[in-house]
Amino acid sequence: MSIDQRIQTVAYRELKKAVLSHGATSGSAVVVDVATGEILAMVNSPSFNPNNRRNTPVHRFRNRAITDTFEPGSTMKPLAVLSALEFGSANLDTVVDTSPGTMRIGGSWVRDPNNYKELDLTGIIQKSSNMGVAKLVLDMPHQHVLGLYNNMGLGEETGLGLAGESSGIFSYRQRWSDFERATFSYGYGLSVTAVQLARAYATMANGGVNRPLSIIKNNEPYPGQRVLAERHALAMLEMMEANIGPGGTATRAQVHGYRVGGKTGTARKAVAGGYGDDYIASFAGVGPVSNPRIVTVVVINEPAGDFYHGGEIAAPVFASIMGASLQLLNVTPDADTGPALISRAGGHNAN
């Protein structure tokens, strides 16, 4: 198998600690080798002792990282920005006016926590601006956005071949309201698994080449398919690096000695007739940005208490797993670990 027992141990320890300390219902974490698509760690909490299953609830047996779907929230914003870059309605110098921080679409509202005014693309990612990604997506045909998300591996199995894997929930219908298109840009209206999210981020980290994931050690990586221009994929890594720097939503994802980048996600859980009061907190990221080696995804389900944002509870778990993994893999530390890009943004958002 491709599982690295050292990384698996670290990932399970850090995830279990976070689930317990935040009173969460459950959690999952996945670590993927960017170059090969191999799964280096896949853990869930609560878990069970496979040597003694007596008196263990059946629900603990399932591999939540491949079976449980969730609305990914703001972890989709990098894909929304990439859609605009690939379509050509935006370029790397584009600035979006997000004033006044709210936008009425039909009978509903799209909101940012603050009025961020003019944001470049880095600022949209760094501030996790709903307004920014919504305006970008509304400026494109919805078929293009759907196509890019699908090309990144959403809405289909990852290639692992494991029993019980979900393909997520991904709508291909032709008619979309403007509000549905807007919310799709920040991760509502679709559902993914932790491994699907890891595959999408591995595609960005791999310079825009999408490769199936594998739980089996491979002598040769599976053939990949180019789905993004390399310059767009590399630019997105730097935008996500700015997100963990000062003023970003994920300062707690910083890893000492390494340049890393990623995106937070905080999404309300759907209930009958709308959304309830429970949350999914997530973080997906890449390290090191200078020469991407691994992708790590952390999902915390239904945290209790006042802390429920991805930047507050999932980002620190990512930092612990990523830092330990890079050291275990003997990845040379970066000389410069500061954010690569400075955005025009201001303010803070714990999204």
**DSSP states along 201-232:** HHHHHTTSEE---BSS--SSPPP-EE-S-HHH
- Domain membership of residue 317 (yes or no) is yes
> What is the model's pLDDT at position 163?
87
- Domain membership of residue 338 (yes or no) is no
- Domain membership of residue 343 (yes or no) is no
pTM above 0.75, yes or no: yes
Instruction: Specify the CATH number for the domain of residue 88.
Output: 3.40.710.10
- Domain membership of residue 134 (yes or no) is yes
- Domain membership of residue 348 (yes or no) is no
> What is the model's pLDDT at position 346?
37
Write out the residue range of the structural domain in which residue 118 sits: 5-48+63-328
Question: What is the average pLDDT across 190-206?
Answer: 97
Tens of pLDDT, residues 295-313: 999 999 999 978 888 999 9
- Domain membership of residue 351 (yes or no) is no
- Domain membership of residue 346 (yes or no) is no
Domain total in the chain: 1
Choose the catalytic residue: 74, 191, 290, 320: 74
Tens of pLDDT, residues 204-217: 999 999 999 999 99
Q: Is 74 a catalytic residue?
A: yes
Rounded to whole angstroms, how far apart are CA atoms 206 and 33? 10
- Domain membership of residue 337 (yes or no) is no
